[in-house]
Amino acid sequence: MKTKMLLAVVTAGVMFAGSVLASTLDDVRARGKLNCIINTGLAGFAAPDDKGNWTGFDVDFCKAVAAATLGDASKVNYTTATGKTRFTKLAAGEGEILSRNTTWTFSRDVDLSQTFIGVNYYDGQGFMVPKSLGVKSAKGLDGASVCIQTGTTTELNLAEYFKGNNIKYNPVPIETNAEAQELYKAGRCDVYTTDASGLYATMMSFDNPSDHMVLPEIVSKEPLGPVVRHGDDQWADIVSWVLRAMMAAEEKGITSKNVKELAAKDNKDKEINRLLGKDPLQGLSKLGLSADWAVNVISQVGNYQESFEKHLFPLTIKRGMNALYRDGGLHYIPPIK
């Protein structure tokens, strides 16, 4: 009886799954809301304010996609996910975008059938230690206990780096950033390792930030970016060009303040005209977006720089690798033609 029921459920599921062919964009439009999967709480990237509105660098990207597809940045349902549940939630269709400081790796991209649509933040794994430990380099961490978030790429990096340098360590597995802060403060671990952005955020939360330091070694490449499901190229294009539009806007000096003005007049820089819909791009109808999509994004959310400065500057995070290529960073945007 039970097996029969189970079989019936599975069969029904497979049949339903086969019949869902509507595009992601259509789904979002029909619902009138974008479902976005975000972090349960990471300073600067996603955290609710006192009124219960989610804010942060990753949250801004959800808003930008909503602005581009629905014309209204506020039409987002946020679903929170931990490091372990994020990919299954995306795969299961609980969100159209995973915007949760997720590292782009080969196996996640290929094996888990995800599409990483670009990098919105270049990060790297670092180590934070109390100055009282007297360690100046990660090579001196022999025998240290290390707090590490499970289910993340940092876990693997740590193992590889320490093994490569023949350093012994005791891992202290933890679930969330908040938990790590507590254990680290209580002295349960000598070292906390996670992406450098997270380390600075954690350090800022201490009563005496100057008692701690981030070691100079950055042991991994952590290109963080939004993720969508395999199989809907139109949607992947939309999401990736929203990200590029935000960066292109910074490059061209378009901000939330002047975007309306620039969109109204004929600019000398034809790329601005094309981006802002004055001289609509070819193939925009294939993307399924209206001509003023980028105007909506920039006027309601802002360009890349505005979002970065609003959310990450308070954590004393510098642009560094995340500057545009012309300023010595890594963000290089394909031409808008």
Partner 1 sequence: MSEKTYKPGNYPDLPPPPGTVGVYGWIRQNLFSSISNSLLTIISVVLLYYLIDGIIGWFFLDAVFDADSKIACRKIDDGACWAVITRRVGQFVYGFYPEAERWRIDITFLTMFVAFAPLLYPDIPKRKWLLYFSVFYPFFAFVLIMGGYFGLQKIEYSLFGGFMLTVILGVCGIVCSLPLGILLALGRQSNLTVVRTLSVCFIEFMRGVPLITLLFVASSMLNYFLPPGTNFSILVRVIIMFTFFSAAYIAEVIRGGIQAIPKGQYEAADALGMNYWQKTRFITLPQALKISIPGIVNTFIGLYKDTTLVVVIGLLDPLGIGRAALADTKWNGLSTETYLFVALFFFVSCFAMSRYSLWLENKLNTDQK
Looking at residue 316, what DSSP letter applies?
T
Asked if 241 is part of the footprint of partner 1 (rule: CB under 8 A), the reply reads no
User: ∠ CA 258-264-265 to the nearest 5 degrees?
Assistant: 95
Strands 97-103 and 34-39: parallel
DSSP state of 74: T
Question: Residues, the chain, total?
Answer: 337
**Residue span 196-235 as binding mask against partner 1, x where in contact by CB under 8 A, dash where not:** -----x--xxxx----------------------------
- What does the block give as tokens for 91? 């795969």
Among 9, 156, 159, 264, binds partner 1 (CB under 8 A): 9
Shortest distance (Å) from residue 302 CB to partner 1: 18
Which of 10, 110, 156, 330 is the binder for partner 1 (CB under 8 A)? Answer: 10
In sequence order, what are the residues at sequence separation of 6 or more whose Cβ sits closer than 8 angstroms to the Cβ of residue 203? 128, 209, 212, 214
User: Which stretch, 38-46, 187-195, 279-287, 292-300, contacts partner 1 (CB under 8 A)?
Assistant: 38-46
- Least Å distance between CB 6 and partner 1? 9
User: Is residue 316 at the binding interface for partner 1, with CB under 8 A as the rule?
Assistant: no
- Closest contact distance (angstroms) between CB of 57 and partner 1 is 12
50 binds partner 1 (CB under 8 A): yes
Indicate the Cα dihedral angle 130, 132, 133, 134, nearest 10°: 120
Tell me the chain's radius of gyration from C-alpha atoms: 22
Work out whether 256 is an interface residue with partner 1 (CB under 8 A): no
Answer for the pair 34, 69: CB distance below 8 angstroms, yes or no: yes
User: Which residue ranges make up the site for partner 1 (CB under 8 A)?
Assistant: 2, 9-10, 13, 16-17, 19-20, 27, 39-44, 46-50, 52, 77-82, 84-86, 88-89, 91-94, 175-179, 181-182, 201, 204-207, 314-315
